């Protein structure tokens, strides 16, 4: 496969180029019935986007992921297991139902994230968003779980590293559930700085503050847990006072966001208190960081199960990624000092916040 050169500081913020929205009708063929992670999530989101002229995004059909891209992250046994379960319509676990259409949906989801990474690193677009399902961040190298079949963002990050010329990737996961799959896949490597802001203790049970990675990846995992009931101020404090300074010191070639919207106060599954505008604020922080570093940033849909909250939050995120603007600044709050003390052992940039 051709290896692309990274477009760092090479005019990728083309004022003429439109941001990209990747989609595919296969997302609707992953038929989960009345399951919280259902096709209506995409239908509702895309109706709103159509009514708003897609927010100026160029709409592209997502390609299917290639087997080589999946196998950089997942075991062959896992890929074959997902294929077989989908063909038989046999659930992968209690939370993860599948039908024959789920296989194509999962391939398109991972393929979209890879195509987004390619477009961003080639300088084709200023930013982008992948609006497909199923989500991906709970899938580990050898296990599907938590509604997820393939670890979509992990596949895209590894594709960027192995085939697109990137040397370092930042993944910020702001889904309310810990992204245990992405976490596990990159736990022992410094090639990906993985930051997860999540409700804790909560499903899937991982993501403790003290877990900072292992082996040569020690210090490159930032687990930032929050108690149920936490609102915008503490989430933004983690982004502004922990994620951004560490990422600035790390110097990624690409910024990817696992954009789950189930931290919204109206979400039926979780217990945090974000609003749609809260996601816009976090997205502006990522856009400002990417502008400062001269690297691209894009986002991939994860969770979010109240249809109105999901739609409003996704649109707010897309508008902020495309339009930028000054991020909302907040005080460090009550949670940042403990995180800074833990992570300051690895990152001088956050020691003063301890």
Contact between residue 172 and residue 289 where contact means Cβ atoms under 8 Å apart: no
Is 264 a catalytic site residue? no
Whether the CA torsion 298, 302, 303, 304 is positive or negative: it is positive
Contact between residue 173 and residue 299 where contact means Cβ atoms under 8 Å apart: no
Q: Could you tell me what percentage of the chain is helix, strand and coil, using 3-state DSSP and rounding each to the nearest 5?
A: 40, 15, 45
In the numeric block, the tokens 């994620």 are attached to 243
Using DSSP bridges, classify how beta strands 58-61 and 20-23 pair: parallel, antiparallel or unpaired: parallel
Q: How far, CA to CA in Å, does 151 sit from each of 69, 74, 352?
A: 11, 8, 35
| Catalytically annotated residue among 24, 78, 85, 138 | 138
- Give the whole-angstrom CA distance, residue 19 versus residue 103: 28
Residues designated as active site: 138
């Amino acid at each position: 496969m051709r290896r692309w050169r990274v477009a760092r500081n090479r005019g990728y913020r083309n004022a003429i180029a439109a941001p990209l929205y990747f989609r595919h009708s296969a997302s609707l063929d992953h038929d989960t019935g009345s399951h919280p992670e259902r096709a209506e999530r995409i239908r509702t989101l895309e109706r709103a986007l159509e009514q708003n002229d897609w927010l100026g995004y160029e709409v592209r059909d997502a390609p299917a992921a290639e087997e080589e891209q999946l196998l950089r992250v997942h075991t062959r046994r896992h890929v074959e297991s997902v294929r077989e379960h989908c063909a038989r319509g046999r659930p992968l676990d209690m939370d993860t139902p599948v039908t024959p259409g789920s296989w194509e949906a999962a391939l398109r989801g991972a393929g979209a994230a890879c195509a987004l990474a390619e477009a961003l690193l080639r300088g084709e677009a200023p930013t982008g968003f992948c609006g497909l399902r199923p989500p991906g961040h709970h899938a580990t190298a050898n296990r599907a779980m938590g509604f997820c079949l393939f670890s979509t963002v992990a596949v895209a990050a590894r594709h960027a590293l192995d085939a697109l010329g990137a040397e370092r990737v930042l993944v910020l996961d702001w889904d309310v559930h810990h992204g245990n799959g992405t976490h596990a896949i990159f736990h022992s490597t410094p090639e990906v700085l993985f930051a997860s802001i999540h409700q804790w203790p909560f499903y899937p049970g991982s993501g403790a503050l003290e877990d900072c990675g292992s082996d040569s990846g020690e210090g490159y995992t930032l687990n930032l847990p929050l108690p149920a009931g936490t609102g915008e101020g503490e989430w933004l404090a983690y982004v502004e006072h922990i994620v951004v300074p560490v990422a600035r010191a790390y110097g990624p070639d690409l910024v990817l966001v696992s954009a789950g919207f189930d931290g919204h106060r109206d979400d039926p599954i979780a217990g945090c208190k974000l609003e749609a505008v809260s996601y816009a604020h976090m997205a502006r922080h990522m856009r400002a960081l990417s502008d400062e570093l001269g690297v691209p940033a894009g986002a991939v849909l994860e969770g979010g199960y109240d249809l109105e909250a999901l739609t409003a939050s996704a649109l707010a995120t897309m508008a902020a990624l495309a339009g930028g603007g000054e991020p909302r600044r907040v005080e460090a709050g009550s949670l940042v000092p403990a995180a800074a003390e833990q992570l300051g052992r690895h990152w001088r940039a956050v020691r003063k916040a301890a």
